[in-house]
């Protein structure tokens, strides 16, 4: 890059001339002197925006970075929104943070800005999981909440998840209204940073106790747990907040043989033992799997830094540990929950489950067979939470989730919850072991009963301004020239969630998609394969979700059928040209 664009230079100058710390100004000036134009452009070419996961980005100086000022402006904008939305009311908010570097600092800045605006802050005095923040918003009667986290992103990232009064992340039109309030702040001088001690109240163990008590009451198979209380469970919080509640939750459910991965139990924002603190990555579970082999465990659990996602490993038919993907774990959880509810006579016809449009249709098939309604939402757990709030008191939410390792059981929170999910995954394992089968064997039996659904996610990273433009071009190309054939099968349906139009490519007929607008494309083939293309809302990536399915005649045919479906996915990816 030879020079800075005028708009970028204007933003840089506003920081150099504004009420920013001198140290910050010196660092920006140093980059200017060194002509580090690419870094400066990436740091200043835009303002951070709320995506499906709120405000998230790399830490550093600039309008497109997470720092004291972008956090402060976001909080001031949120405070302005709350004061306009609830005029004359006493406004309360809850704030928590995970183990990331600067997360505690950013949480304190957030609390200070709220307090300076006359808003009462319930401030978790130490790190806590994201789902507990959602729970706190609900039980403390807050109008909003903020979680300082970048979830499973690399260590350079941090973020800011904003929640509404229902304990769910903001959805339309509130999300746009909050963004408008943030965008309306033209100067850092408009942000009130001066702390008002009287408006900040520390919380902690009392909320833990309420939360643990309520999730334990959700248990469906306590008898099976009693008989399988010695189930060997290896657990790793991957240096995150899961250590505060997951072991306690497992103990409350009745599990007495939980083995922790010692190298990863201490919270640490550098995540020193992993490349990425993401339980979707096999590498992140290396130490947990090693421990599991040493102790001959029944189950491996690992949660991400803010404990809203959980990855698991179980023994396969060859007695070797394998990782289940998010679709497999989600399907198993739903199948277990519906089966256990059915056995207990708890299904009344008013129950429902929820999944996202890119999550396996095996869940739809299971729900249909059990005569339980399955709703599909856009990607982002806030849409699942929105639906739960809409149906609260009218229908009963059993469980739900998304393929990216996020699940929820029960109606206590409005976000994905790795604490309650870990407890229920352990309960599910005990339930099947009590019936003389392993979780992996139960998965194969599920495929035999409902169809063998196999999914694969392809993520392509495109960083910075140029990367964002490349992703936009890729989506436009697929939108205007959809593939004709994928995996040897004709593409018969195109779903464009941005235009909210479904097109029958055989007849040309169109119909409306009754979901909010989102930059997602889905190609459905004649043989039932579904391929979704979606730019990530929280990372510089474009994602392709491939789902194929076939019949599994019996358990003995599992490996061959699995191989055939894998080959089909490989062909689809090749046909996509990505």
What is 504-545 written as a DSSP string? ETTT--EEE--S---S-EEEEETTS-EEEEEE-SSSSEEEEE
The answer to whether residue 16 scores a pLDDT higher than 90 is yes
Count CB-CB contacts under 10 A for residue 9. Answer: 16
- Contact by Cβ (8 Å): 543, 528: no
Question: How is residue 377 written in tokens?
Answer: 């939402």
Stretch 275-293: mean pLDDT: 96
CATH (residue range 453-576): 3.30.310
- Determine the length of the chain: 578
CA atoms within 13 A on the CB side of 111: 25
Q: Is the pLDDT of residue 50 over 70?
A: no
Which residue intervals of the chain bear CATH 3.40.120.10?
51-204, 229-450
- Which residue of the set 107, 151, 404, 532 is catalytic? 151
Are 263 and 271 spatial neighbours (Cβ–Cβ below 8 Å)?
Answer: no
Mean pLDDT score, 2-6: 86
Nearest to 381 by CA among 24, 134, 90: 134
Residue 217: the pLDDT is: 98
Residue 144 phi, psi dihedral angles, 5° rounding? -160, 170
- At 297-314, the pLDDT tens digits run 999 999 999 999 999 999
d(CA 543, CA 537): 10
Once rounded to an integer, what is the mean pLDDT over residues 355-365?
98
**How much is the average pLDDT of 513-541?**
92
Do residues 38 and 62 make contact, with C-beta atoms less than 8 angstroms apart? Answer: no
> Is 306 strand, coil or helix?
coil
CB 236 within 8 A of CB 260: yes
d(CA 542, CA 471): 6
What the block records as the tokens of 381 is 């757990």
Q: Is the pLDDT of residue 391 over 90?
A: yes
Q: What is the CATH number of domain 229-450?
A: 3.40.120.10
Give the number of other CB atoms < 10 A from CB of residue 205.
9
Distances (CA, A) of 463 to 18, 96, 298, 520, 563: 28, 29, 40, 20, 34
**Pairing mode of beta strands 351-356, 396-402:** parallel
Name, in order, each residue with C-beta under 8 angstroms of 223's C-beta and a sequence gap of 6 or more.
Answer: none
Q: Residue 480 class from Cβ within 10 Å (0-12 exposed, 13-18 middle, 19+ buried)?
A: exposed
- Please, which pLDDT band fits residue 466 given cuts at 50, 70 and 90? confident
**Range(s) of the chain covered by CATH 3.30.310:** 453-576
Residue 476 burial by CB count (10 A; 0-12/13-18/19+): exposed, middle or buried? exposed
Summarised one tens digit per residue, pLDDT across range 86-118 is 999 999 999 999 999 999 999 999 999 999 999
Q: What is the DSSP letter of 555?
A: G
Classify 151 in phi/psi space as left (phi over 0), alpha (psi -120 to 50) or beta.
left
Q: Which long-range contacts (CB under 8 A, 24 or more apart) does 351-355 make?
A: 351/395, 351/396, 351/397, 351/398, 352/391, 352/395, 352/396, 352/397, 352/398, 353/397, 353/398, 353/399, 353/400, 354/384, 354/387, 354/388, 354/397, 354/400, 355/330, 355/400, 355/401, 355/402
Report percent pLDDT > 90 for the chain.
92
Sign of CA dihedral 287, 289, 294, 299: positive
Q: What pLDDT sits at residue 51? A: 56
* pLDDT number for residue 1: 46
pLDDT digits (tens, 9 = 90+) for 144-197: 999 999 988 899 999 999 999 999 999 989 988 888 898 899 899 999 999 999
Q: Are 400 and 355 in contact (CB under 8 A)?
A: yes
Q: How many CA atoms lie within 13 A of 373 on its CB side?
A: 11
CA distances from 450 to 364, 372, 428, 433, 545 (A): 10, 15, 19, 21, 21
- Distance of alpha carbon 105 from alpha carbon 148, whole angstroms: 10
Q: Give the β-pairing of 373-377 and 351-356.
A: parallel
State how far the Cα of 338 lies from the Cα of 332, in Å rounded to an integer. 10
151 catalytic per annotation = yes
d(CA 301, CA 558): 25
The confidence score (pLDDT) of residue 378 equals 94
Q: Burial-class residue 173 by CB neighbours within 10 Å (0-12, 13-18, 19+).
A: exposed
Q: Does domain 51-204 have CATH number 3.20.20.70?
A: no
Of 422, 331, 341, which is closest to residue 131 (Cα–Cα)? 422
């Amino acid at each position: 890059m030879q020079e800075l664009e005028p708009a970028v230079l204007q933003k840089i100058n506003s920081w150099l001339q504004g009420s920013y710390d001198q140290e910050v100004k010196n660092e920006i000036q140093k980059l200017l002197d060194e002509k580090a134009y690419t870094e400066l452009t990436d740091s200043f070419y835009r303002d951070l925006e709320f995506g499906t996961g709120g405000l998230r980005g790399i830490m550093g100086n600039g309008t497109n970075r997470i720092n004291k000022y972008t956090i402060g402006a976001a909080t001031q904008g949120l405070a302005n929104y709350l004061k306009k939305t609830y005029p004359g009311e006493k406004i309360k908010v809850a704030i928590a943070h995970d183990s990331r570097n600067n997360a505690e600092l950013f949480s304190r800045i957030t609390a200070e800005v709220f307090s300076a605006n006359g808003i009462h802050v319930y401030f978790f005095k130490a790190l806590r999981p994201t789902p507990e923040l959602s729970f706190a918003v609900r039980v403390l009667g807050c109008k909003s909440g903020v979680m300082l986290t970048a979830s499973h992103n690399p260590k350079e990232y941090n973020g800011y998840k904003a929640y509404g009064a229902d304990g769910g992340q903001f959805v339309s039109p509130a999300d746009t209204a909050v963004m408008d309030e943030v965008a309306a702040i033209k100067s850092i001088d408009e942000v009130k940073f001066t702390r008002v001690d009287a408006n900040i109240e520390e919380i902690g163990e009392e909320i833990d106790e309420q939360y643990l008590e309520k999730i334990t009451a959700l248990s469906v198979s306590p008898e099976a747990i009693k008989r399988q209380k010695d189930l060997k469970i290896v657990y790793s919080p991957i240096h995150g907040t899961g250590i505060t509640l997951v072991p306690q939750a497992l103990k409350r459910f009745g599990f007495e043989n939980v083995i922790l991965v010692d190298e990863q139990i201490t919270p640490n924002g550098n995540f020193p033992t992993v490349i990425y603190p993401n339980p979707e990555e096999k590498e992140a579970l290396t130490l947990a799997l090693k421990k599991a082999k040493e102790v001959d465990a029944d189950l491996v659990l690992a949660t991400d830094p803010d404990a809203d996602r959980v990855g698991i490993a179980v023994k396969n038919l060859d007695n070797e540990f394998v990782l289940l993907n998010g679709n497999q774990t989600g399907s198993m959880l739903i199948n277990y929950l519906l089966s256990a509810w059915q056995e207990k006579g708890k299904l009344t016809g008013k129950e429902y489950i929820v999944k996202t449009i890119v999550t396996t249709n095996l869940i739809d098939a299971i729900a249909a067979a059990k005569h339980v309604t399955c709703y599909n939402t856009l990607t982002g757990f806030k849409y699942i939470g929105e639906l739960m709030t809409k149906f609260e008191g009218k229908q009963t939410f059993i469980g739900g989730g998304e393929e990216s390792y996020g699940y929820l059981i029960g109606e206590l929170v409005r976000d994905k919850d790795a604490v309650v999910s870990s407890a229920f995954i352990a309960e599910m394992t005990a339930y099947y072991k009590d019936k003389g089968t392993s979780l992996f064997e139960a998965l194969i039996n599920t495929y035999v009963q409902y169809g063998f659904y196999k999914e694969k996610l392809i993520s392509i990273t495109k960083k910075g301004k140029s990367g964002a433009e490349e992703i936009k071009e890729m989506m436009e190309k697929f939108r205007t020239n959809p593939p004709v054939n994928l995996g040897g099968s004709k593409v018969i349906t195109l779903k464009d969630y941005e235009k909210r139009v479904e097109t029958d490519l055989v007849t040309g007929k169109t119909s409306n998609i009754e979901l909010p607008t989102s930059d997602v494309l889905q190609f459905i083939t004649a043989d039932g394969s579904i391929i979704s293309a979606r730019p990530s809302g929280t990372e510089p990536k474009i994602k392709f979700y491939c789902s194929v399915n076939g019949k599994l005649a019996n358990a003995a045919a599992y490996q061959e059928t699995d191989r055939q479906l894998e080959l089909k996915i490989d062909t689809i990816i090749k046909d996509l040209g990505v």
